[in-house]
């Protein structure tokens, strides 16, 4: 009988993992390890993994005699692999297996799977909410009312923001999230232009693919970022790029903080070149209370929660459980990060 460790946390909980596994692999014998995310923030330690939470030693103890580690944020490091000889598969319920050391897993013959698209709907909805919040300055007006203020000048022509309908949105990235955002904004009457060097398909009718980022920026009344962070695109939107955007435009980042120069963003807002901005991802998480971002007008921020929904947690667990069941039944899992392990068998 296969033994599976349900190493959940307070988002993708052990109960959510158990429900999904029962659906697809009811014969599995399970044990539970409770993690502390998000009560404990994600860390870049230990070595070899990213954005993890939890103790290697606790994970090692829980994985003795276990075949499959089904986790969200625990650090599945080389140290863990070395100490758990029975481990055959690690399934990470995230868009990428960042908290599993893929090289160490491959060397140990351990299959690593992940759950792409798990939070595409949640992040799409949050991205759209942030675009609207920035354009309409919803959070700022709410806070003024909480403080007992009733600004009487908000209908001044020089203070009101633009409508989305009739404007142009530039999307950087056209994956599972960007493509959904594009469809909704097109339905709202926006012209949609897309910059994505990795997208080789056909865009829906009425959308335009753009090969040159500067061309996209020069036309974007709204710029929204949906790219994965790579060595090639780190800091891709800085002072020069924002200067190319039309006066009074809006910038939204719900992708990765490393894509954007936040000092340059604050400068562009302070100067009035950008009308507004909204970001769910930030240069430091959590932000120190005196950080400039928190004191810049017309900048709406949320604490990296775009992908947070009950359905995202449940979908992640379901995708992961399907791959575990396929592996146990001798079939090829759909979302494998190191297929060379399967090919070597």
Other CB atoms within a 10 A radius of the CB of residue 75 amount to: 25
CATH number at residue 14: 3.40.50.720
270 and 152 in a single domain? The answer is yes
Give the pLDDT of residue 10: 98
Same domain, 114 and 132: no
Q: What is the pLDDT of residues 292-344, one digit of tens each?
A: 999 999 999 999 999 999 999 999 999 999 999 999 999 999 999 999 999 98
Question: Domain check: are 89 and 15 in the same one?
Answer: yes
Shared-domain flag, residues 126 and 58: no
Residue 285 annotated in active site: yes
> Do residues 259 and 129 share a domain?
yes
Identify whether residues 136 and 226 lie together within a single domain.
Answer: yes
What's the structural domain count of the chain? 2
Residue 73: predicted pLDDT: 98
pLDDT value at 345 more than 80: no
For the cut 90, the answer to whether the pLDDT of residue 272 exceeds it is yes
Whether the predicted pLDDT of 285 surpasses 90: no
* Residue 113 and residue 246 in one domain: no
pLDDT (average), residues 40-44: 90
Nearest Cα neighbor of 179 from 101, 120, 110 is 120
When pLDDT is averaged across residues 234-246 and rounded to a whole number, the result is 97
Q: Are residues 315 and 271 in the same domain?
A: no
Q: Is the pLDDT of residue 4 over 90?
A: yes
**Greater model confidence, 317 or 45:** 317
Q: How far is residue 10's CA from residue 6's CA, in Å, rounded to a whole number? A: 12
Please identify which of the residues 285, 295, 331, 332 carries the catalytic annotation.
Answer: 285
Give the per-residue pLDDT at 152: 86
pLDDT of residue 338: 97
Residues 226 and 289 in one domain: yes
Mean pLDDT of 272-295: 95
State pLDDT tens for residues 79-130.
999 999 999 999 999 999 999 999 999 999 999 999 999 999 999 999 999 9
Given the residues 118, 226, 304, 322, select the one marked as catalytic: 304
Do 161 and 264 reside in the same domain of the chain? yes
Supply the pLDDT for residue 178.
97
Provide the pLDDT for residue 39.
Answer: 94
Residue of 226, 256, 322, 335 marked active site: 256
**Is 80 exceeded by the pLDDT of residue 236?**
yes
Domain of 103? 3-118+309-344
Band of pLDDT at residue 286, cut at 50, 70 and 90: confident
**Are both 62 and 96 inside the same structural domain?**
yes
Does the annotation count 322 as an active-site position? Answer: no
Q: Does 110 share its domain with 142? A: no
pLDDT at 344: 85
Of the listed ranges 74-83, 257-266, 283-292, the least confidently predicted one is 283-292
Separation CA 66–CA 233 (nearest Å): 39
304 is catalytic: yes
């Amino acid at each position: 009988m296969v033994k599976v460790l349900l190493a959940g946390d307070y988002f993708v909980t052990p109960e959510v993992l158990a429900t999904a596994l029962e659906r697809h692999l009811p014969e599995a014998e399970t044990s539970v390890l409770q993690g502390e995310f998000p009560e404990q923030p994600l860390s870049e330690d230990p070595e070899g993994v990213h954005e993890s939470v939890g103790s290697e030693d606790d994970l090692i103890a829980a994985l003795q005699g276990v075949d499959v580690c089904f986790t969200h944020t625990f650090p599945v490091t080389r140290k863990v692999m070395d100490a758990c000889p029975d481990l055959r598969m690690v399934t990470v319920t995230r868009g990428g297996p960042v908290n599993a050391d893929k090289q160490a897993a491959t060397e140990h013959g351990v299959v690593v799977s992940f759950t792409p698209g798990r939070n595409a709907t949640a992040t799409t909805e949050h991205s759209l909410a942030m675009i609207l919040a920035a354009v309409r300055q919803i959070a700022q007006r709410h806070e003024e009312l909480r403080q007992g203020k009733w600004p009487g000048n908000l209908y001044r022509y020089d203070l009101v923001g633009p409508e989305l309908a009739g404007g142009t949105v530039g999307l950087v990235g056209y994956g599972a999230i960007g493509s959904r955002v594009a469809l909704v904004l097109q339905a709202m009457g926006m012209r949609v232009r897309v910059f994505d060097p990795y997208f080789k398909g056909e865009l829906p009718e009425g959308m335009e693919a753009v090969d040159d980022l500067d061309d996209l920026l020069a036309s974007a009344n709204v710029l929204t970022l949906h790219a994965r962070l790579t060595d090639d695109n780190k800091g891709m939107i800085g002072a020069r790029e924002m200067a190319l955007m039309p006066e009074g435009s809006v910038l939204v980042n719900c992708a990765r903080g490393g894509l954007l120069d936040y000092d340059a963003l604050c400068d562009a807002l302070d100067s009035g070149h950008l009308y507004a901005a909204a970001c769910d991802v930030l240069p430091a998480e959590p932000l120190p209370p005196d950080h400039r971002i928190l004191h810049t007008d017309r900048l709406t921020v949320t604490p990296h929660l775009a992908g947070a929904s009950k359905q995202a947690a449940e979908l992640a667990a379901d995708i992961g459980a399907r791959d575990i069941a396929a592996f146990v039944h001798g079939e090829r899992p759909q979302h494998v990060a190191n297929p060379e392990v399967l090919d070597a068998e």
